Chains A and B, each alone.
Chain A
Amino acid sequence: MKKKLLIIDDDIEMCEEISDILRDEGYDVNMAHDGLEGKNMLFENAYDLVLLDIKIPGMNGFEVLKAVRENKINVKVIILSGRPMVKELSGQPASYDEEEVILRQADCIMGKPYDIVKVLKKTEELLS
């Protein structure tokens, strides 16, 4: 059985490039360009892993992650974000602290521009 992956990123080219690699690696890959759409897909289908961007329309990455964890959806989450990571912006407004708490519920966080080889390795690791 092929492992089922979902990429949630509003950057269409990004989705295309990654899914291209992941398909060649033998994964079954779907895409969503909107947070709400992505969340719905996660709730309706059994995915093994989701690659989640933070700054996306509809519902942002934090909200998607929060919904997934609160509803005990069994899926691994890798956060892929170009947003400055919390550690890079120490002393940000309070909302960052709350967001950091949510971020800790992810299985892995990678900053853009990420090294795709590392993403592949991490994906494999989480699904093994």
Chain B
Amino acid sequence: MSSPDNTNTIEEKLKEQDIKLQEQARMLDLAQIFVWNETDGITQWTHGAEMLYGWTKEEALGKKPYELLKTLPPKPIENILEEVYLGHHWDGELIQTKKDGRQITVASGWALHTGDNGAPKAIIESNSDITKLKLYELALSRDKDAFEKMVNDKTRQLVSAQLELERTKRLSDIGTLAATVAHELRNPLGVIRTAVYNIKRKCQNQMLDSHIGNIEKKILESDQIINNLLGYSRIRTPQYEKIKLYEVLDECVNIAKERFDKKHVAFNKDTESIREQFMDGDHFQIREVLNNVLDNAGQAVEDGMGIVTVSAFSRGEGKVALTINDNGSGIEPSDIARLFEPFFTRKSKGTGLGLTVCKELINLHHGNIDIASELNKGTTVTITLPLERPAL
């Protein structure tokens, strides 16, 4: 028999415990937790779960949670359950759908509740919404990618600017050298020319005429070499302006026509399609290239048989293409690769600088120059140029 005091104490203690339990239950009810098993579906649904998903306890109980919440697991539910049965818990991320249709990402923790015999009884699933966190993560990683791309782009621009600078420096060095050499050679050449004139004037001897003629010829040839060398000094960063390629072509073809007038070379033009087209370019440099290529074409053809055709057309992607085709002697296949080498020439009076300069000038315009040729059939030079000056 217990004394009334004892009874009181036990009752009080039970009451106390009851209050504690109730308090714990209320606290637990706030957690976003539900309990379920495969046969009965959801057996417990807390107020927290209701707040999270929008489904009331009445609506949720008895439903399969993955059906109710349209759960998208990282791997099949069966596999997750297997893991839970073996290891008693599983953690991972799930995508679920709330009652209002909104999708959320949750960090999910599953714990296995077993009976006294150790057999699985239920799964306690506790989820917390990490949708915003995931969005931030995504934004951050996007920002990181964008930032990396920006850094890479800037680095590329810097490297390219550096290369351009070095190139400009090198070109201006070559130009200065060429101009200096040209000047220094022109002076003595001038004296020789005048001295020859004086010899001719004073001797009036026909026996000397052919020799003097040869000296005069060689002086003119030397002068031509110097002029070509000066072409090298024209290799410099293009001074861009809006030019009409159509008009530059017209001008150059007319010059060529006149130059090869005695040879009766026919110059045909098919450039109407770019008549109104403007492009960014250095007028002098483009003219230099065209004059050079047209000159080569005129020289390659036979007297009275020569046909040189100049075509121009827009090539898409903001580019314009020019082709200068001749029906001349063509180029030995083995020479093709060497055409742009400095001082490479097969002409008796060539300096081998013409095409070298052309290529440099076209490169400076961020364009391309290609030469295709068939022996005894002719040669086609193709020049592609961007219409707009590319950004660094």
Pick the contact of A84 from B183, B189, B198 — CB < 8 Å? Answer: B183
Q: Which residues of B contact A11 (CB under 8 A)?
A: 187-188, 191
- 0/1 string, A78-109, CB within 8 A of B gives 1: 00101110001111000000000000000000
The interface centre, meaning the residue of A14, A18, A82, A88 with most chain B CB atoms within 10 A of its CB, is: A82
Say how far A93's CB is from chain B's closest CB, in angstroms. 10
Taking CB atoms and an 8 Å cut-off, the chain B residues in 271-308 that contact chain A are 282, 284
B187 touching A21 by the CB < 8 A rule? Answer: no
Q: Does B66 contact A (CB under 8 A)?
A: no
In the bound complex, what is the Cα–Cα distance between A62 and B36 (angstroms)?
102
Given contacts A11-B191, A84-B179, A91-B236, A112 and B186 within 8 Å (CB-CB): yes
In the bound complex, what is the Cα–Cα distance between A20 and B184 (angstroms)?
23
Pick the contact of A114 from B190, B233, B239 — CB < 8 Å? Answer: B190
In the bound complex, what is the Cα–Cα distance between A59 and B188 (angstroms)?
21
Say how far B230's CB is from chain A's closest CB, in angstroms. 6
B239 touching A20 by the CB < 8 A rule? Answer: no
Pick the contact of A14 from B183, B194, B219 — CB < 8 Å? Answer: B194
Interface magnitude class on chain A: 20 to 34
Say how far B184's CB is from chain A's closest CB, in angstroms. 8
Q: Does A17 contact B (CB under 8 A)?
A: yes
Pick the contact of B284 from A24, A91, A114 — CB < 8 Å? Answer: A91
The residue in chain A whose Cβ has the minimal distance to the Cβ of B192 is A113
Q: Which residues of A contact B63 (CB under 8 A)?
A: none
Count of B residues near A, CB < 8 Å?
27
In the bound complex, what is the Cα–Cα distance between A17 and B199 (angstroms)?
10
Given contacts A17-B198, A20-B198, A89-B233, A112 and B284 within 8 Å (CB-CB): no
B195 touching A113 by the CB < 8 A rule? Answer: no
A-B pairs with CB below 8 Å: how many?
A: 69
Taking CB atoms and an 8 Å cut-off, the chain B residues in 99-122 that contact chain A are none
Q: Does A55 contact B (CB under 8 A)?
A: yes
Given contacts A20-B198, A90-B234, A90-B284, A84 and B192 within 8 Å (CB-CB): no
In the bound complex, what is the Cα–Cα distance between A118 and B297 (angstroms)?
32
Q: Which residues of B contact A13 (CB under 8 A)?
A: 191, 195
Given contacts A90-B234, A91-B284, A113-B223, A55 and B194 within 8 Å (CB-CB): no
Interface of chain B: mostly helix, strand, loop or mixed = helix
The residue in chain A whose Cβ has the minimal distance to the Cβ of B284 is A90
Q: Does B64 contact A (CB under 8 A)?
A: no
A21 touching B230 by the CB < 8 A rule? Answer: no
A21 touching B239 by the CB < 8 A rule? Answer: no
The residue in chain B whose Cβ has the minimal distance to the Cβ of A110 is B190
B195 touching A17 by the CB < 8 A rule? Answer: yes
Taking CB atoms and an 8 Å cut-off, the chain B residues in 198-216 that contact chain A are 198, 201
The residue in chain A whose Cβ has the minimal distance to the Cβ of B195 is A17
Q: Does B193 contact A (CB under 8 A)?
A: yes
In the bound complex, what is the Cα–Cα distance between A91 and B223 (angstroms)?
22
Q: Does B197 contact A (CB under 8 A)?
A: yes
In the bound complex, what is the Cα–Cα distance between A114 and B179 (angstroms)?
17
Q: Does B81 contact A (CB under 8 A)?
A: no
Q: Which residues of B contact A117 (CB under 8 A)?
A: 197
Pick the contact of A112 from B189, B234, B282 — CB < 8 Å? Answer: B189
In the bound complex, what is the Cα–Cα distance between A114 and B219 (angstroms)?
11
Pick the contact of A89 from B179, B194, B195 — CB < 8 Å? Answer: B179
- 0/1 string, A1-42, CB within 8 A of B gives 1: 000000000010110011011001000000000000000000
In the bound complex, what is the Cα–Cα distance between A116 and B194 (angstroms)?
6
Q: Other CB < 8 Å A-B pairs besides A13-B195, A17-B198, A89-B230, 4 of them?
A: A17-B197, A84-B230, A89-B233, A117-B197
- B contact residues vs A (CB 8 Å cutoff): 179, 182-195, 197-198, 201, 219, 223, 230, 233-234, 236, 239, 282, 284
